[in-house]
């Protein structure tokens, strides 16, 4: 009985409908006053400052989830883009290397064409297709043979100087012995003073040797050796080598002179084959021997 009376005591006042109407009118009044006179602007600012931490705390889980999703999405895209860029870099590097090779080859072909246009002898362009596997035999094979009117003994050179000489001809290939072969020799002369000599191969593509030259010979470091044109194998004036080392020992009768080939003996792939060199007359000794061998035959025929 006492419980019901106390409950009725605390429930005294306006009814819920009256309260709803009252607070609705109050809200409308406050909205009007705030919109009209801006009385609640400072109050609203204070309330926003007080409520801001709560808003941030409530929004924190959503923000963290969004940031985590963005991070993993960005990380996945970054890994995929990085892999694609790495693959593209490899492709571009290969293409750049190929472009550099083609550019160097194009420049070399231009230089060969210029040499071919200004040469006094007919030339034809050839390309190296094989290299001798034996390191002691300095030989290469070109893609021109008997079908291209290539003959044994013709000179092979690049835009800088002599590379070698054709020693064997096949139907579609020709074998070239390099000037650095240990069994190869070229008649040369010093461009500075005209001194004649013979340069020999040493078996090394970067070294030639002037043999049997006295210690007092007038040769200096840096002297350029060119073909002398003797024997009619090599035309005169072609660059052969440059002197890079001289050893003069009074205990020995000959000086040791080392040279470096000027031409790209083991570098270039396109070369020039010289043809149409003027044929020299036969040596007098050979002509005398042929006449001596012919006379007995004629005398034997006249006896009967």
pLDDT at 302: 43
Predicted confidence band at 304 (pLDDT cuts at 50, 70, 90)? very low
Closest CA to 111 of 173, 74, 159, 52: 159
Tell me the average pLDDT across 52-71. Answer: 82
Rg (CA), the chain: 49
Q: What is the DSSP string of 90-139?
A: HHHHHHHHHHHHHHHHHHHHHHHHHHHHH-SS-EEEEEEEEE-S-TTS-E
pLDDT at 294: 57
Q: Which helix (H) or strand (E) holds 298?
A: helix 284-302
What whole-number distance in Å separates Cα of residue 140 and Cα of residue 128?
7
pLDDT at 8: 54
Same domain, 240 and 140: yes
Torsion angle of alpha carbons 92, 94, 99, 105, nearest 10°?
170
Tell me the average pLDDT across 78-105. Answer: 80
Same domain, 271 and 131: yes
In the Cβ-directed half-sphere of 123, how many Cα atoms lie within 13 Å?
23
In a domain, 196, yes or no: yes
Same domain, 28 and 137: no
Is 293:175 a contact under the CB 8 Å cutoff? Answer: no
Residue 161, helix vs strand vs coil: coil
Same domain, 146 and 10: no
Q: Which tens digits make up the pLDDT trace of 68-90?
A: 888 888 888 888 888 888 888 88
Is 228:261 a contact under the CB 8 Å cutoff? Answer: no
What whole-number distance in Å separates Cα of residue 11 and Cα of residue 3?
13
Closest CA to 163 of 190, 184, 132, 148: 184
Closest CA to 158 of 227, 108, 100: 108
pLDDT at 3: 52
Q: Which tens digits make up the pLDDT trace of 220-242?
A: 999 999 998 887 788 888 889 99
What whole-number distance in Å separates Cα of residue 256 and Cα of residue 245?
8
Is 157:241 a contact under the CB 8 Å cutoff? Answer: no
Same domain, 127 and 22: no
Q: Which tens digits make up the pLDDT trace of 15-51?
A: 888 888 888 888 888 777 777 766 667 777 777 778 7
Same domain, 133 and 269: yes
Name the β-bridge partners of 186.
Answer: 199
- Please check the confidence at residue 177 and state whether its pLDDT lies above 60: yes
In a domain, 64, yes or no: no
In a domain, 109, yes or no: no
Residue identified by tokens 């072909």 is 109
Q: Ranked by mean pLDDT, which of 87-96, 99-108, 113-122, 244-253 comes out on top?
A: 244-253
In a domain, 24, yes or no: yes
Same domain, 137 and 23: no
Query: Mean pLDDT, the chain, as a whole number?
Result: 80
Q: Which tens digits make up the pLDDT trace of 179-206?
A: 988 888 999 999 988 899 999 998 888 8
Dig out the tokens for 234 from the structure: 């090599």
Dig out the tokens for 227 from the structure: 């073909």
Same domain, 31 and 133: no
Closest CA to 277 of 230, 215, 245, 242: 230
More confident of the two residues 304 and 94: 94
CATH number of the domain that 137 lies in? 2.40.10.340
- The model's pTM: 0.58
In a domain, 87, yes or no: no
Same domain, 144 and 257: yes
In a domain, 253, yes or no: yes
What whole-number distance in Å separates Cα of residue 260 and Cα of residue 240?
9
Q: How many structural domains are present in the chain?
A: 2
- Please check the confidence at residue 111 and state whether its pLDDT lies above 80: no
Same domain, 26 and 166: no
Same domain, 138 and 248: yes
Same domain, 128 and 266: yes
pLDDT at 260: 93
Which range of residues forms the domain containing residue 9? 2-37
In a domain, 9, yes or no: yes
Q: How far is CA 5 from the centre of its chain?
A: 105
In a domain, 56, yes or no: no
């Amino acid at each position: 009985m006492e419980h019901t009376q106390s409950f009725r005591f605390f429930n005294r006042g306006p009814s819920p409908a009256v309260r709803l109407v009252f607070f609705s009118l109050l809200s409308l009044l406050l909205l009007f006053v705030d919109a009209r006179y801006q009385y609640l602007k400072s109050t609203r600012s204070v309330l926003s400052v007080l409520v801001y931490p709560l808003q941030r705390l409530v929004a924190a889980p959503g923000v963290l989830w969004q940031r985590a999703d963005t991070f993993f999405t960005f990380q996945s895209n970054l890994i995929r883009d990085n892999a694609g860029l790495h693959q593209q870099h490899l492709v571009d590097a290969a293409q750049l290397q190929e472009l550099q090779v083609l550019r160097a080859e194009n420049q070399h072909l231009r230089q060969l064409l210029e040499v071919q246009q200004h040469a006094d002898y007919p030339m034809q362009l050839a390309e190296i297709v094989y290299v001798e596997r034996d390191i002691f035999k300095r030989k290469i094979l070109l893609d021109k043979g008997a079908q291209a009117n290539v003959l044994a003994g013709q000179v092979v050179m690049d835009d800088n100087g002599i590379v070698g000489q054709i020693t064997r001809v096949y139907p579609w290939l020709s074998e070239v012995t390099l000037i650095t072969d240990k069994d190869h020799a070229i008649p040369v002369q010093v461009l500075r003073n005209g001194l004649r000599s013979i340069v020999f191969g040493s078996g090394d593509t970067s070294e030639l040797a002037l043999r049997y030259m006295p210690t007092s010979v007038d040769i200096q470091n840096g002297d350029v050796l060119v073909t002398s044109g003797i024997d009619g194998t090599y035309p005169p004036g072609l660059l052969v080598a440059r002197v890079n080392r001289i050893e003069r020992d009074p205990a020995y009768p000959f000086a040791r002179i080392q040279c470096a080939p000027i031409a790209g003996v083991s570098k270039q792939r396109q070369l020039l084959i010289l043809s149409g060199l003027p044929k020299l007359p036969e040596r007098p000794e050979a002509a005398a021997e042929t006449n001596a061998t012919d006379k007995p035959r004629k005398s034997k025929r006249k006896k009967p």
